């Protein structure tokens, strides 16, 4: 059974490889990822993962399509995928010394076109961060393009005082939920 990854994320490819999943093709979805007015972070994550899968599945009849979306939420606020060092710094200022949620939604469309969904919620608490630490991290460039402006698998792991949930979900693909969906869709896993 062919598996198509509806994402250009190298992190997601690496995470899938950890559980022995080979991807036949990478076909990123080109969709509008703007949040809807008053949309809750959990609804946003689910909607975007489902929309990515729905956009890519018709191009790969008979294959299994995997799509995901990871959202960093501070309360009801959806933090952006930081486009530059200034946005990284703004996100870290908001998250420093606080608890936040990382929501990772996964949608798998099986070879028959049936879509199944799972959501992973992880609670992360950052230690208080000095202005110098925030600026140094922002200047490193590591948080650019990352939800919430940080990469937990990199230098930002040192900021995490507490994590309850899926570490791989914070990286970008919750492996427990993903594995269950892929097995249900007919992808053989040990």
Q: pLDDT confidence of 1, banded at 50, 70, 90?
A: confident
What pLDDT digit, counting tens, does each position of 2-27 carry?
999 999 899 999 999 999 999 999 99
Of the chain, the percentage scoring pLDDT greater than 90 comes to 97
Q: Is the pLDDT of residue 155 over 90?
A: yes
Across the chain, what does the average pLDDT equal?
97
In the chain, the domains with their CATH numbers are: 3-184 (3.90.950.10)
8 A C-beta contact, residue 36 and residue 51: no
Of the chain, the percentage scoring pLDDT greater than 70 comes to 99
Q: Is the pLDDT of residue 190 over 90?
A: no
Q: pLDDT confidence of 160, banded at 50, 70, 90?
A: very high
Tell me what the mean pLDDT of segment 16-45 comes to.
96
Binning the chain into helix, strand and coil, the percentages to the nearest 5 are: 35, 25, 40
pLDDT at position 168, please? 98
Integer Cα distance of 156 and 3 in angstroms: 31
DSSP string, 14-47: HHHHHTTPPPSEE-------PPPTT--HHHHHHH
Q: Is 124 helix (H, G, I), strand (E, B) or coil?
A: strand
Residues with catalytic function? 69
Tell me what the mean pLDDT of segment 42-71 comes to.
98
What pLDDT digit, counting tens, does each position of 74-127 carry?
999 999 999 999 999 999 999 999 999 999 999 999 999 999 999 999 999 999
Tell me what the mean pLDDT of segment 139-166 comes to.
97
Q: What is the CA radius of gyration of the chain?
A: 17
Integer Cα distance of 34 and 28 in angstroms: 17
């Amino acid at each position: 059974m062919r598996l198509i990854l509806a994402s250009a994320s190298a992190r997601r490819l690496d995470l899938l490889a950890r559980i022995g999943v080979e991807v036949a093709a990478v076909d990123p979805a080109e969709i509008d990822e703007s949040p809807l007015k008053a949309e809750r972070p959990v609804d946003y994550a689910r909607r975007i993962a489902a929309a990515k899968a729905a956009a890519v599945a018709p191009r790969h009849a008979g294959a299994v399509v995997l799509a995901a979306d990871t959202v960093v939420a501070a309360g009801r606020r959806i933090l952006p995928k930081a486009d530059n060092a200034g946005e990284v710094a703004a996100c870290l200022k908001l998250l420093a010394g606080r608890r936040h949620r990382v929501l990772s939604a996964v949608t798998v469309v099986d070879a028959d076109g049936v879509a199944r969904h799972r959501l992973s919620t992880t609670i992360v608490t950052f230690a208080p961060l000095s202005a110098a630490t925030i600026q140094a991290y922002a200047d490193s460039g590591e948080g650019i393009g990352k939800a919430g402006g940080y990469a937990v698998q990199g230098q930002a792991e040192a900021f995490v005082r507490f994590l309850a949930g899926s570490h791989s979900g914070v990286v970008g693909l919750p492996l427990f939920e993903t594995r269950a969906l892929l097995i249900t869709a007919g992808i053989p896993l040990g």
